[in-house]
A and B are shown apart, each in its own frame.
Chain A
């Protein structure tokens, strides 16, 4: 089973990288761009076919290591 994990900075926490990219896009003439948030994308191959178990394990992975929930949110998708 394949998991895709997305980690993003919380909406109420300043994302300096996102702000810099937003500024660059505006400079380039892409004025329609509002807020930009930069995050991380992780692909994990899981040796399991039990979807419920995979979800529980992924949640634990995100809470413990993959995201710092003080400043980041996470979500994941399972394929296969």
Chain B
């Protein structure tokens, strides 16, 4: 299986994503610059965190028009696995690949902290290794992670089981609608989340609860391709 980690000017979690793929599942992974116009060689695309284009205008607003994003849209249509983390989530919402938008945190502060997430849907390619309702420990680091969608969209998200992660219990750190921390598209092959699973892949980092997102993706890819081989 082959992963692409997109790199925009201002990305700063690209190395974390790259290392997480290497360390958790040992699959091939490349950094892919934002001007790339061909992603056909990749099975999964990671859109990393950071401050693409300085977050000028709005988070993700300019990155969404980078040449590589046309290829990300194509890959999404082809059913490839796409995971946007933090700024990556903001970019995917700006691109219309995921519904809603991310607003300024309701407390106005940038929050860098561990959070407890509830796995709201383990029936996805990204979360199959977790138990439904399991509480996992994953860090956040964002100033604009306050998820918003209108009531109609929220009802659709619920009806289609598109809410993947929620902030557990009463721990909502940023004011997100319905405690939402991560969602998928209707088809389930595109996921965006504000917390950083790639920063939780070793006890040295405080948690290894993020590991299973990567093993889940690999398992999903193997099932889809009927392959047990490590390629």
Instruction: Tell me if A66 is interfacial: C-beta within 8 Å of chain B.
Output: yes
Q: Mark B57-85, 1 if CB is under 8 A from A, else 0.
A: 11001100100000000000000000000
A70 & B107 in contact (Cβ 8 Å cutoff): no
A17 surroundings in chain B (CB, below 8 A):
104, 108
Instruction: Tell me if A1 is interfacial: C-beta within 8 Å of chain B.
Output: no
B103 & A13 in contact (Cβ 8 Å cutoff): yes
Instruction: Tell me if A28 is interfacial: C-beta within 8 Å of chain B.
Output: no
Given A13-B148, A14-B175, A16-B175, the answer on whether A68 and B61 have CB atoms closer than 8 Å is: yes
A sample of 25 inter-chain contacts (CB < 8 A) reads A9-B103, A13-B103, A13-B148, A14-B103, A14-B106, A14-B146, A16-B103, A16-B104, A16-B105, A16-B106, A16-B107, A16-B108, A16-B146, A16-B175, A17-B104, A17-B108, A40-B57, A65-B62, A65-B65, A66-B57, A68-B58, A68-B94, A68-B101, A70-B99, A71-B101
Closest residue of chain B to A69 (Cβ to Cβ) is B101
Q: Mark B112-124, 1 if CB is under 8 A from A, else 0.
A: 0000000000000
Q: Mark A1-32, 1 if CB is under 8 A from B, else 0.
A: 00000000100011011001000000000000
Given contacts A13-B103, A13-B148, A68-B58, 13 further A-B contacts (CB under 8 A): A9-B103, A14-B103, A14-B106, A16-B146, A16-B175, A20-B108, A40-B57, A65-B61, A65-B62, A68-B61, A70-B100, A71-B101, A71-B148
Instruction: Tell me if B39 is interfacial: C-beta within 8 Å of chain A.
Output: no
Which of the four size classes fits the interface of chain B?
A: 20 to 34
Tell me the dominant secondary structure on chain B's binding face. Answer: loop
The residue in A9, A14, A66 that gathers the most chain B C-beta atoms within 10 A of its C-beta is A14
A70 contacts which of B62, B146, B149 (Cβ < 8 Å)?
A: B149
The residue in B101, B103, B104, B149 that gathers the most chain A C-beta atoms within 10 A of its C-beta is B103
B146 surroundings in chain A (CB, below 8 A):
14, 16
Report the separation of the CA atoms of residues A40 and B94 in the bound assembly, to the nearest whole angstrom: 18
Q: Mark B5-46, 1 if CB is under 8 A from A, else 0.
A: 000000000000000000000000000000000000000000
A68 surroundings in chain B (CB, below 8 A):
58, 61, 94, 101
Report the separation of the CA atoms of residues A14 and B107 in the bound assembly, to the nearest whole angstrom: 12
A14 surroundings in chain B (CB, below 8 A):
103, 106, 146, 148, 175
